[in-house]
Structure 1
Amino acid sequence: MKTTLTVVLASVLSSYVSGQVGINTANPITSLDIVAKRTDGSTAEGILPPRLSGDEIKAGDAQYVNSHAGTIVYATAPVNVASNKTANLTSSGLYYFDGNVWQKMMPGDPRKFNVQTAGDIKNSVQDTDHNGWYLLNGRSISSLPAAAQNSASGLGFTSILPDATDRILKTRVGAELLGSEGGSNHISITRSNLPDINLIGIVSGTAESAGSHAHTADEGGYLVGGTSVGNNGSGHYQGTAVASSWGGVGMLNKTSTTGAHTHSLSGVATIPTGGQGMKLDNRSAYLVVNTFIYLGE
């Protein structure tokens, strides 16, 4: 009781004298100076922050605003259903509030464990810029903060960031420019892409007829000359240049019968495939994420 009272009095007195608070010391050298009570290992020394479960920390979301940046708590368990502020509470440990979300405290500078360099690419289910990472969505370079603009310019982006929307990432080949876009999600089949096969179709008609036969005329008859059929005896039809002069003279309704012979047949058979000219989707099964580039904080 005596020791505790002495510490409290010393803390209050020192705060009045120098505006600084000391615990276990009458001469604090910082805003809050805590000196170990004992150094022989007979007591547990240190600072013990508030201990709360992830769900208990989440319950106080409304209480933590930007002015609470720097607040430290110890999460005894991860949050079950995360909110925006507790999205990083995935395991027990020390966390600090950065003014927007709770961040896990790591041993040392986290950037030494996860080094980022301007131009690094990552995929994430986050949907906004964060911690120096900028969404690759084709936006204007001028819309970025000044430091990010400088980094983008140093990477060769002069007007816009690349747009990674609905695209996969590929490794550069030859003289391809880094950050350039190309390719398509769909394939159009051309004739040269089809397999080298014959499509089988049916051509209707008689190409060959054996034996003696005659040919009938589709239009009612054949106009012939040099015959004795209905002419004036001279072997040639001589009309009077009027329509009535034809009157069937020099007209036969079928050719004369001749010997066995064949007929040449040529033509193009059109065989529809039944297709609709639809494009093929060139994408494999996928997981939708966003793509970010690191341009620095």
Structure 2
Amino acid sequence: MKTKFFYTFTVLFLFVTHKAQVGIGTTTPSNSAVLELNSTNKGFLMNTIALTSITSPSPFGSNVEGMWVYNTATAGTPPNNVIPGLYYNDGTKWVLMSINNDLPKIGDIKSSMATIDHDGWYLLNGRNVSTLPSISQTNAATLGFSTTIPNSSDRIIKGKNTSESINATGGSNSYSVTQANLPNVNITGTTSSAGAHTHNYTNRGVNYWNYNAGSINTTRTIDTEVRTTGASGDHSHTISVASGGTNTAIAQYPKHLVVQYFIYLGK
């Protein structure tokens, strides 16, 4: 047995020494490859391990640049969590390999024609977090949703400003139009002919003086008397202009397409 092992080791040593390429399934591996696999009905099985976080080298003792593994675990806390898939190590962390540059991250929001939860995306309908799967409950809590997830039903989503907090709701279901909301225009009008009227006044320009010049009465006109209307002639006019309105509520929605909103909480 020892003799056979010695001969086998010697042949392998000479093969490796004189031919740097190794072929499995082929006797003529490429000169540009250290190792070439060749099979029509078999594949290459990557070693499978359970990662704990993209920032932790575990179960390895340290990060090794160029290390490839297939991760089987769903673990860690966003944004450093890991999901099943092929990872490589860049010397400082694990990086998920994917041809998709738009892999969803925990907390991503999307609109969709779908109406039910799917692939880790959960409908924003204000439900209790306790009704979600355990991993989604954990991820929701990291986003600040410990009791319920937001409700986007019949709401327009807007970006936050410095005075608002995530998941805050605002706006109003009713609006009042005040004078300040009206355009700065002058409305003019005239009274109808039915508004015609007269004023009575006392003419103080003529006084009668009675005296006798013999047997004849006579009068005297005083031209310097002031003539004005009496105080009872003071009055005001009112005018009304019909708006033609019917008290119809303002429709505040712009043109829109109805969709559903989802949040990604992992799967």
Q: When the two structures are superposed, what TM-score results if normalisation uses the length of structure 2? A: 0.48
Q: When the two structures are superposed, what TM-score results if normalisation uses the length of structure 1? A: 0.44
